[in-house]
Amino acid sequence: MAANVLKAFTVPHPPLIVHEVGQGREKGIQKTIDAFERVAKEISAAKPDVIVIISPHATMFSDYFHVSPGKGARGDFSRFGAKQVQFFVSYDEELTAAIDSAARAIGFPGGTEGEREPVLDHGTCVPLYFIEKYCKNYKIIRVGLSGLDLKEHYKFGWIIGQSLEKLNRRAVVVASGDLSHCLKEDGPYGFNAKGPEYDKKIMDVLSSGDLNKLREFDEVFCEEAGECGHKSFVIMSGILGNQKVSARQLSYEGPFGVGYGVCAFDLSETAATSAASSVEEKEDEYIRLARMTIETYVKERRIIKIPAFVTQEMKNEKAGVFVSLHLNGNLRGCIGTIGPTTGSVAEEIIHNAINAATRDPRFEPVKAFELQLLEVKVDVLKKAEPVKSLKNLDAKRYGVIVSKGLRRGLLLPNLEGVDTVEDQLAIAKQKAGIDISDDNVLLERFEVIRHEPKE
């Protein structure tokens, strides 16, 4: 993913950096001006098909990510006393539609709905002020933030990256956002010690190129620091998610009580990515086997052979296995076997992973563009034992099997939203087609060894 991204930049957006607004005051942030000039020249040299501009001041909702629709938009600096500085940009309508479609396909809260203000915001116009000095006849997409958490911002960036790849767009990403607004007593929000602390931490992370760390920031800390660009940077990191980056800090200063940082990110062509490494570190051999199985089958319609990393225990042991898939916090598939049906746990995982991804009757088969955001869990079932009393059940510790005649329903333990034994039994009966008020049933309990990604 995102192999089509040529370069990426984090930039601030102080209106006074525009000469017609600053009227000489902009000389107080000359380092930032010089860095912006360099950014604009690099964008021009890259000759992108589209520039992705992420702005905290574009249309924003508490629970939805907005991408500006239409053919294009106008903007100016009239709010800042410089109406004569005007812009008209053309949007990449096909790319915008692709992002909207990709988000809808996985039930993600993002797209082109609910535009409040089609006029370009200053978080977009400030970068354009420099870009237009060197670039002509370019197209952009304008992306806003949301009130959702950092993890969701990363996901939205991933969706944008997938859409760029699908349309084979050569893109440059510009993440617009100031740093702390609390650097000085006479700054916009006075002084807060968290302000300088945030600016040092964010510049260290951006300069290192380890953009996964952006999602590790405490959001209360970010709010106390008075920053405005962090979520823009996280969306950018989602777009770049499958490529290694070489980072360059071009400038940092904060003479007016607001932090202004400019960083550039050059993309390598290697497919071995920091994002992929991060995922691999969080998943053990059981999950890795299930994920590899699903990815290979969805992309190539091929059933893998047991790979070398699989442990001897997985090859020797026989047991029932459930493979569960989640996407965007929602169940995306779950298929399993109560007891062993193959020669080993490894084979059981391969068999059930394919079924969970492509044959769960409740869902459409998993699509290739969903794979990177798919959360995979594997439950290895221990042998079931009969239960004579509900007192011997525990919805968190034990799974349950309910049987009556040929009807049989199973529910795994420790599931979100299933807090009581009564809830557990009712769902298991429903799955078996047994009346939930019917207590004349055979009950069995079992424990599982659950394999899920580490936090």
> Is position 289 within any domain?
yes
Task: Locate 306 and state its tokens.
Answer: 């047991």
Same-domain status, 368 and 434: no
Residue 245, strand partner residues:
267
Q: Which long-range contacts (CB under 8 A, 24 or more apart) does 351-355 make?
A: 352/321, 352/322, 352/323, 353/289, 353/290, 353/291, 353/293, 353/294, 353/297, 353/323, 354/293, 354/294, 354/297, 354/303, 355/323
Identify the domain containing residue 418 by its residue range: 382-455
From residue 266, give the alpha-carbon distance in Å to each of 39, 43, 136, 261: 12, 11, 22, 17
Q: Is the same domain home to 298 and 206?
A: no
**DSSP assignment of 106-173, as one string?**
TT-SEES------SPPHHHHHHHHHHTTT--S-EEEEE--BSS-HHHHHHHHHHHHHHHHHHT--EEE
CATH of the domain at 249: 3.40.830.10
pLDDT (tens place) for every residue of the chain, 455 residues total:
455 899 999 999 999 999 999 999 999 999 999 999 999 999 999 999 999 999 999 999 999 999 999 999 999 999 999 999 999 999 999 999 999 999 998 889 999 999 877 899 999 999 999 999 999 889 999 999 999 999 999 999 999 998 998 899 999 999 999 999 999 998 888 999 999 999 999 999 999 999 989 999 999 999 999 999 999 999 999 999 757 789 999 999 999 999 999 999 998 644 334 444 445 567 899 999 999 999 999 999 999 999 999 999 999 999 999 999 998 778 999 999 999 999 999 999 999 999 999 999 999 999 887 887 899 999 999 999 999 899 999 999 999 999 999 999 999 999 988 999 999 999 999 999 999 999 999 999 999 999 998 76
Domain count, the chain: 3
Task: Annotate 319-341 with b (16+ C-beta within 10 A) or e (fewer).
Answer: bbbbbbbbbbeeebbbbbbbebe
Q: 96 and 144 in contact (C-beta within 8 Å)?
A: no
In-domain check, residue 296: yes
Q: Of the residues 345, 378, 411, which one is the last residue of a structural domain? A: 378
Count of positions (residues) in the chain: 455
Do 362 and 248 fall into the same domain?
A: no
**Phi, psi (degrees; rounded to nearest 5) at 202:** -70, -40
Compute the distance between CA of residue 195 and CA of residue 190 in angstroms, rounded to an integer.
10
Q: List beta partners, residue 376.
A: 325
Tell me: do 200 and 103 sit in the same domain. yes
How many Å apart are CA 240 and CA 21, to the nearest integer?
33
Q: Are strands 110-111 and 171-176 parallel, antiparallel or unpaired?
A: unpaired
How far apart CA 327 and CA 152 sit, in angstroms, is: 12
> Six-digit token pair at 256?
């007016």
Q: Are residues 374 and 386 in the same domain?
A: no
In a domain, 278, yes or no: no
Residue 169, amino acid: R
Mark whether 357 and 425 lie in a shared domain: no
